[in-house]
Amino acid sequence: MRDRVVIVSGGTGALGQSMVLAFLGTGAKVCVPYVVPAEQAALQARLAPADAALVEVKHCDLTDETAVTTYVGDIVARHRRVDVLVNAVGGFAGGDLAATPLAEWNRMMTLNLTTAVVGCRAVLPEMTRARWGRIVNIASRAVIPPQGGFIAYTVSKAAVITLTQALAQEVRAHGVTVNAVLPSTMDTPANRKAMPDADRSGWVSTESVARVVAFLGSEAADAVTGAAVTV
Which domain CATH number covers 215? 3.40.50.720
H runs (alpha helix) in 140-222: 151-171, 189-194, 206-216
* d(C-alpha 112, C-alpha 185), whole Å: 16
pLDDT digits (tens, 9 = 90+) for 41-65: 899 889 988 888 899 999 999 999 9
pLDDT at 186 over 90: no
Tell me the sheet residues that pair with 29.
5
SS3 202: helix
Phi, psi values for residue 87, rounded to 5°: -95, 100
DSSP 135: E
* d(C-alpha 200, C-alpha 208), whole Å: 15
**Domain of 144, in residue numbers:** 5-230
Give how many domains the chain has, as a whole number: 1
Please tell me the pTM assigned to this model: 0.94
Angle between the 115-130 and 65-79 helix axes, to the nearest 10 degrees? Answer: 30
Top-confidence residue, 121 or 194: 121
Q: For residues 206 and 15, is the Cβ–Cβ distance under 8 A?
A: yes
Question: What amino acid positions are annotated as catalytic residues?
Answer: 153
